[in-house]
C-alpha cells in the first residue's frame, strides 16, 4: 500500500512512522508513506498556502490552488482509491472503515490547518471525509497518523501473528476480553484459574463470555447493532 500525505508540517510525522509496527511494515516494503510539503506547490513569492476568508471573519483558509496542484501531480503518476480529507465534521473513523481502507492500494490524505480548506477542494477533489472524533485538533496531521497506524497494522504480513488483529476490539462487534501475563500471582492478585487450566475449549468459552460482558458494559450499543 502507498499513502501520500499532503501537509504543511511533514516533519511532524517523523516519530509516528519510525517505530514499532509501522516502521516494520515500511521496512518490509508492505507500506510506503510519502510526505508532500504543500508549500512546494505554492506559486506566490512567499510560498503562501492560506488566505483571508471571503466574507470576513477570524482565521485563515487553506487556498485551493496548491492543494489542487499537489493532488493533480500525484494523480498523474497513479490511480488512487480515495482522496481523504481529515476534518472534524467527516464520518467518524471506526474499525469497519479501517478494515476497508487496509485493502486499498493507493491513498491520499490531506491534512487541514487554520479554519480548514477552501470548500471547492472538498467538493471537487476529496472523495472521503474522515474525523477521528467529535473534537477539534489544530491540524489534520495527528488524525492522519492515527488512521495510517490503524490501517497499516491490518495489511497482510505486517503483524507477526495475523490472527491477532482478528480478535481485536471492534472486530465482530465485540470488545476484547481481558489479558494477563506472568506472574500468575502478582502481589496477591491472581490470574483467573481457567487461563492456567490448559483446557483450550474452556479458555475459548471464558474469553467469549468476557468479551460479551465487556461489550455489554462498555459499548452496549454495539450489541444492539
Task: Tell me which residues touch ligand SAM (CB under 6 A).
Answer: 86-89, 111-113, 115-116, 131-133, 135-140, 143
Task: Say how far apart CA 88 and CA 37 lie, in whole Å.
Answer: 22
Report, in Å, the least distance between residue 144 CB and ligand SAM. Answer: 8
Which residue number, 117 or 174, has a Cβ lying nearer to ligand SAM? 117
Task: Give the Cβ contact number of residue 27 at 10 Å.
Answer: 9
Q: Which residues contact 99 (CB under 8 A, 6 or more apart)?
A: 154, 171
Q: Which residue is nearest to ligand SAM (CB)?
A: 112
Residue number, 33 or 158, with CB nearest to ligand SAM: 33
CB of 215 to ligand SAM, least distance (A): 25
According to DSSP, the β-strands at 185-186 and 106-111 are: unpaired
Q: How far is the CB of 78 from ligand SAM (least distance, A)?
A: 24
Q: How far is the CB of 39 from ligand SAM (least distance, A)?
A: 16
Peptide bond into 61 cis (omega under 30): no
User: Which string of DSSP letters, residue by residue, matches 173-212?
Assistant: G-PPPP---S-SEETTEEPPGGGGS--HHHHHHHHHHHHH
User: In the bound complex, what is the minimum distance in angstroms from residue 132's beta carbon to ligand SAM?
Assistant: 4
| Cell numbers given for 70 | 499537489
133 versus 183: smaller Cβ distance to ligand SAM: 133
Q: Are strands 32-37 and 50-51 parallel, antiparallel or unpaired?
A: unpaired
Residue number with CB closer to ligand SAM (129 or 194):
129
Closer to ligand SAM at the Cβ: 54 or 135?
A: 135
CA 86-92-93 angle, 5° bins: 75
Amino acid at each position: 500500500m502507498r499513502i501520500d500525505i499532503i501537509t504543511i508540517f511533514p516533519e511532524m510525522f517523523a516519530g509516528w512512522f519510525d517505530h514499532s509496527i509501522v516502521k516494520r511494515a515500511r521496512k518490509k516494503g508492505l507500506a510506503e508513506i510519502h510526505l508532500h510539503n504543500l508549500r512546494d506547490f505554492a506559486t506566490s513569492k512567499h510560498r503562501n498556502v492560506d488566505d483571508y476568508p471571503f466574507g470576513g471573519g477570524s482565521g485563515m483558509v487553506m487556498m485551493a490552488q496548491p492543494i489542487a496542484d499537489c493532488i493533480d501531480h500525484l494523480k498523474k503518476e497513479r490511480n488512487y482509491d480515495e482522496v481523504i480529507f481529515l476534518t472534524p465534521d467527516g464520518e467518524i473513523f471506526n474499525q469497519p472503515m479501517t478494515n476497508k481502507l487496509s485493502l486499498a492500494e493507493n491513498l491520499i490524505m490531506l491534512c487541514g490547518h487554520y479554519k480548514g480548506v477552501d470548500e471547492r477542494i472538498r467538493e471537487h477533489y476529496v472523495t472521503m471525509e474522515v474525523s477521528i472524533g467529535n473534537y477539534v485538533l489544530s491540524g489534520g496531521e495527528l488524525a492522519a497518523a492515527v488512521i495510517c497506524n490503524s490501517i497499516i497494522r491490518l495489511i497482510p504480513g505486517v503483524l507477526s501473528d495475523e490472527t491477532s488483529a482478528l480478535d481485536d476490539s471492534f472486530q465482530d462487534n465485540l470488545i476484547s476480553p481481558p489479558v494477563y501475563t506472568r506472574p500468575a500471582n502478582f502481589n496477591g492478585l491472581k490470574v483467573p484459574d481457567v487461563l492456567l487450566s490448559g483446557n483450550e475449549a474452556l479458555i475459548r468459552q471464558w474469553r467469549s463470555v468476557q468479551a460479551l460482558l465487556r461489550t455489554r458494559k462498555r459499548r452496549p450499543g454495539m450489541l444492539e447493532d
